[in-house]
Structure formats: C-alpha cells, structure tokens
Amino acid sequence: MKIWFLSSALLVTTATFAQSASTEVPKNWYQLDKASTGYYGISLDKAYDFLKAKKLKSKQVLVAVIDGGIDTLHEDLKPVLWTNAKEIPGNGIDDDHNGYIDDVHGWNFLGGKDGRNVKEDSYEGARVYTALKAKYGEEIPEDSAVSDTQKNEIALYKKVKEKVAGEVNPAEIAFLKQILPGFLKGDSVITKELGKEEYNCTDLEKYNPTDANAKRTKVFLTQLCKGNNSNELTNKQIIDELNGELRKADAVENSPKEYRKEIVQDDEKDISDRFYGNKDIMTATPFHGTHCAGIIAAVRDNGKGIKGIADNVRIMMVRAVPDGDEHDKDIANAIRYAVENGAQVISMSFGKEFSPEKKWVDDAVKFAESKGVLLVHAAGNDAKNVDSTDNFPSPVYLDNGKKATNWITVGASGDPHTGSITANFSNYGKEQVDVFAPGVQIYSTIPGGNMYGNASGTSMACPVVAGTAALLLEYFPTLSAKQLKYIIEKSSVSPDTEVNVPGTTQKTKLSELCVSGGLLNAYEAVKLAASLQGERTKEVLPAPTMTKNKKG
C-alpha cells in the first residue's frame, strides 16, 4: 500500500500546487483531546485517567502487525516484542512444532530457507493480466462462449486488461523514464551529503546543494511534499513509487519479474503448502512496520521517544508485505499464523486493486472470526470511494456476500492545522469504511538506531485503531471482537463541522464518508466499554474451510 497519495502529483515538474504545506503540530497531536487542546486527537490521556479512576487492572494483549518488517533493536520496541516462550532462539529446531523454525518474535513469509529475503515485488494487476492473457489471448471470449465457472475469470480479465493496458499513458511513462535517472543521481549526492539513506522534505529545508542533479532532486521532492500537504514524503518512497509505475507500464508488453519465486521456493498455487519463509522479521525494509508498531505499542514509561497507545501489549511481526503488491497466499498464511500463535488483534496496513485468490484470504478471515480475533485494515490512499472501487483485502466474503463481523476498515483523519479533518489522500466509503482515525503527520519509531519521524497515510490510521482496540481489550478482556468493533464505531465522535471529500474541496458530513460518521475517540470508547463490561455477544460465525495438513 502506498503511504502517500501520489497519483495526482507524480507527473508534475514545477507546477503550482493548490495546497500549501501543513503547519507544525505537536508530535503527539493525534493523542490529544480536542476540548482541552483544540486538536482533533483521540483523547488518550483522558482515557487513561478514566481507567485509573476506575482502578482497573490491565491484562497483556498480543497484537500482530502484518507488514514489511520491524527494527527489533529499537529502544522503544525491543521491550514490547512478543517472544515465543516455547521456541529456543537460534537452535535451528522447531521446538514448539508449529511448523516454523526459530519463530521467536514472529515470522517472515517473504524469506527463503537460505536466509535471502524478498524486498520488492510486482504489481498484482500485472501478475493477473499476464496469467489470463496466456490463457485467453488478446481477444477476450464472449460470455456465451465459455462455461459458467469461467465467467468470473473472464470478468476479471476484462477489468485487469483495462487497468493494465487501458490506463498506460505513453507520454507520462516517457516522462518518468526521463526524470528517474536524474532523480537517482541527485539522490545519491544528497544521501552522501546528509549522511542518511532516507530523508524527507524537513531534512532538505536547510540543505543547499551545489550539485545540479541534487538541486533538481530537492526541488522535485519539495514540490511533491507541498502537493501532498506534508513534509514527511521521503526519497525512498518516491523512488519506490516511480519504479512501481514503470513496472506497471512494462507489464503491458512483458511478463512481470517473479521476484518471490526464486527466493521463497514454495508452491505458490497450493494454499496448503504453508511452512515456508524464515525467521528474519527485520530484513532490509522495516520502515513501514517499525512506524506502525510504534504507534500501537512504543513503551510509554521509559522517558524515551514516544508513547504508544496501548500500555500492556506485545507486538508480533508477521512479514508478508514487500515493496510492491503482496501475494494473497502470504496474507492468508500471515493471518492464520497470527491467530494460531495467540494474536488477539491484527493490524493490516496494506492493500491492492486485485485479489486473484481472495477465497484464500477470506478463509483466513473466517478462521480469525471463529477464534474471536479482531482485524483492523487501512482503507487505502487513493482518495477513492471504496464502496464502488476495489481495495483488497476486503471484509466482504466472495462466497456469500456477507461482511466479516470482526473487521474494521479505517480512513485517515487529520486536523485543520495539518490541512483538513479528512486526509486529502484517504479512501472513504459510507458502506465500506467504518471509522476515521488520525493518519497525518504521525510521529513514531523508525529504524536505523533509535530514531523517530513522521509519516502519513491510512497505514498510520490503522494502527491507531488497532492500538485503541488493544487498550480496550487490556482493561475489558471479556469483550468479543464484534463488541470491540461496535464500541469503536459507536463511540466515535462526529466533527462539529462539515469535512472535505478527500481529494476535493467539496464539503460533506463525515457520515457520508464512513459507516460510523465519526472520528476515533479512545476516551469515549473506554467509557462505553465500561458500560458493556461482562457482556458477551452470542452469534453463529461462519466456519473456516481452510484444510489442515500434518502440521495443523
């Protein structure tokens, strides 16, 4: 999933942007209380004051973060990492017989047994297009010429062909190919002179390059930050996005590179082939996962860095998200791994436009649902209405059209000080997005030596909700996943003004953009949870159909 809404800004040079950069806000603005500070935060301190006044004791909660990796050595995260007590570290033996060797703090489904790891991957649309093109050719058969079982596949082929081949603009791709080499040359100079591999627009403010390429790179990145209304867009994110757009265009003529196949070496077409990967959950791409994990669980009482939302949690990292589109099989197995190993809440900040094996993911979601595990998912960053635009994974089951009862989809909110109450990049949907939560200029842990920094996206809003759900479960451990979802939605607070439809200047009520019509509020949530304490929701849940093998 893109951290940044870049689609409208990728193909610009020195154009004037409609929005200005956001102003400085407190680093913890998203945790503040609006009534006392004026910021549209989640009233976290008031929530803790309420819990303290009630003299409630917390019970430790396990939160799984399915992402791209985590800095296991970070000062604010190392103490809160989940440790598999049944596994002896580094002995090369599957001590707990769960099928995963040395899974001490989680598991990496993007790794090989030889220790190598998948860093980047292709666009899912390209993978689907290539497979169906090989099966059906350039001419798509009419429905009358195929069997009933092929009609859904034909519909998918039509959709993916239009997306892959129909949206490629040769002039835009030519422009990308023209600017990328210069951007990379300038980037190499800037990283050397700043002394850091990843930098953002704030780092560039006082940087005055003399190299011509570095000057152009600075100007280009600065303009994108202005266009996205934030200074936290980084060089790495831009490079990944540019390369991703070029890979999409290349898919029209060429099969996408199979980045994963050579390294992971599982049978990707067999969901029962589950026991692949390796123990390396840090790898070379831990920025995104480290940032998300810190939002949920950074140690609150150590006097360092930041305070995570939940005060008594452990973080399990399940690596399944590369730079590029994740594979359905990896996501399905990541959810299943998290549930089997005790996760009570799963935070999922990723997404894509196509899901060729959605049935596998659906079955993993049903498995989580049957075990009472809450899934929290980022809505996406394309300023689109996901009531009518695909964004996967989704809570609507393919086989029966029902929605999972244990799933929360999160849009990103901000503050007038950061640009607007609704983030200009956030996806939305009156039926499919459940609640909005802070996702703009979120300050959290980043890898590279006990470092901290800002990032924006529904990817950040998702762990804000996951952390709040974990906080609720700590102090009210009898709550079901369905009750957690109900509490978070019911206790959300409607803003006292109309908001922007993301990506536009059009005004509307927040109730037109999400199910709850509100912004996450931890204080209101704990109050509501206290009123429901001791109650359980009785319901018949769909049974999973995922088959077991000899490992379970």
Which pLDDT belongs to residue 169? 73
Which pLDDT belongs to residue 15? 29
User: Please, are residues 303 and 270 in contact by the beta-carbon 8 Å criterion?
Assistant: no
**3-state secondary structure (DSSP) of residue 348:** strand
Q: Is the pLDDT reported for residue 2 higher than 90? A: no
Going by pLDDT thresholds of 50, 70 and 90, the confidence category of residue 366 is very high
- Comparing 138 with 451, the larger pLDDT belongs to 451
Alpha helices for 341-397 (secondary structure H): 358-370
Please tell me which of 19-28, 157-166, 347-356 the model is most confident about, judged by mean pLDDT: 347-356
User: Please, are residues 380 and 352 in contact by the beta-carbon 8 Å criterion?
Assistant: no
**pTM for this structure?**
0.86
Straight-line distance from the first to the last Cα atom of the chain, in angstroms, rounded to the nearest whole number: 31
Residue that is written with structure tokens 């980022």 in the block: 378
Q: Which residues pair with 313 in a beta bridge?
A: 61
Which pLDDT belongs to residue 163? 83
Q: What gap in Å lies between CA 274 and CA 318, rounded to an integer?
A: 14
Q: What gap in Å lies between CA 530 and CA 54, rounded to an integer?
A: 9
Q: What gap in Å lies between CA 208 and CA 210, rounded to an integer?
A: 7
Worst-scoring range by mean pLDDT, 105-119, 126-140, 298-312? 126-140
User: Please, are residues 546 and 512 in contact by the beta-carbon 8 Å criterion?
Assistant: no
Tens digit of pLDDT for each residue in 207-248? 999 999 999 999 988 888 877 666 767 888 788 778 777 877
Tens digit of pLDDT for each residue in 441-460? 999 999 988 999 988 999 99
Q: What gap in Å lies between CA 284 and CA 117, rounded to an integer?
A: 8
395: Cα separation from own chain's centroid: 15
Collect all residues with Cβ–Cβ distance below 8 Å to 298 and sequence separation of at least 6.
76, 77, 80, 305, 306, 307, 308, 444, 445
Q: Is the pLDDT reported for residue 86 higher than 50? A: yes
Going by pLDDT thresholds of 50, 70 and 90, the confidence category of residue 406 is very high
**Mean of pLDDT values over 68-86:** 97
Q: Is the pLDDT reported for residue 127 higher than 90? A: yes
Q: What gap in Å lies between CA 191 and CA 221, rounded to an integer?
A: 14
Worst-scoring range by mean pLDDT, 193-202, 306-315, 463-472? 193-202
Tokens of 140: 């798509």
Q: Parallel, antiparallel, or unpaired: how do β-strands 313-319 and 106-108 relate?
A: parallel
Worst-scoring range by mean pLDDT, 34-48, 242-256, 328-342, 522-536? 242-256
Closest CA to 452 of 193, 79, 71, 195: 71
Which pLDDT belongs to residue 20? 33
Q: What gap in Å lies between CA 28 and CA 37, rounded to an integer?
A: 11
**CATH assignment of 30-121+257-532, given 3.40.50.200, 3.10.20.30, 3.20.20.70, 3.30.1330.20?**
3.40.50.200
DSSP state of 546: P
**Mean of pLDDT values over 65-88:** 97
Domain residues of the chain, as ranges?
A: 30-121+257-532
DSSP string, 10-33: TT-SSPPPSSPPPPP--TTGGGS-
**Mean of pLDDT values over 338-343:** 98
Q: What gap in Å lies between CA 445 and CA 435, rounded to an integer?
A: 24
Tens digit of pLDDT for each residue in 303-326? 999 999 999 999 999 999 999 899
- Comparing 307 with 129, the larger pLDDT belongs to 307
- Comparing 62 with 146, the larger pLDDT belongs to 62
Q: Is the pLDDT reported for residue 156 higher than 50? A: yes
Measured CA angle at 457 (ends 455, 461), to 5 deg: 100
Q: What gap in Å lies between CA 76 and CA 309, rounded to an integer?
A: 13
Maximum alpha-carbon separation in the chain: 69
Interhelix angle 212-227/170-194, nearest 10 degrees = 110
Please give the share of the chain, as a percent, with pLDDT higher than 70.
Answer: 91
